[in-house]
Amino acid sequence: MQNYLLDACAVLAHIKLEDGWRIVDNLFDRAERGEIRLFMSVVNQVEVFYDRIRNNGIDRTGEIFELFDDLPVTIIDRIDRAEVREAARLKATGGMSLADTFLVAAALHTGAAIVTSDWSELEPVAAQGVIPFLWVRPKPEPS
In single-letter form, the type of residue at position 67 comes to: L
Q: Do 6 and 44 meet the contact criterion of CB atoms below 8 Å apart?
A: yes
Provide the residue-wise pLDDT of the chain in tens; the chain has 143 residues: 899 999 999 999 999 999 999 999 999 999 999 999 999 999 999 999 899 888 887 776 677 778 888 899 999 999 999 999 999 999 998 779 999 999 999 999 999 999 999 999 999 999 999 999 999 999 988 87
Tell me whether residue 49 is exposed, middle or buried, using C-beta atoms within 10 angstroms of its C-beta: 0 to 12, 13 to 18, 19 or more. middle
End-to-end CA distance of the chain: 39
Whole-number pLDDT of residue 53? 86
How far, in Å, CA of 132 to CA of 39, rounded? 14
Whole-number pLDDT of residue 66? 82
Whole-number pLDDT of residue 69? 86
Q: Where are the domains of the chain?
A: 2-135
Helices (H), the chain: 8-16, 21-32, 42-56, 61-66, 81-93, 98-110, 119-127
Q: Do 45 and 103 meet the contact criterion of CB atoms below 8 Å apart?
A: no
Q: Identify which of 18, 142, 37 has the alpha carbon closest to the alpha carbon of residue 8.
A: 18
pTM: 0.92
Whole-number pLDDT of residue 61? 67
Superfamily of domain 2-135 in the CATH hierarchy? 5'-nuclease (3.40.50.1010)
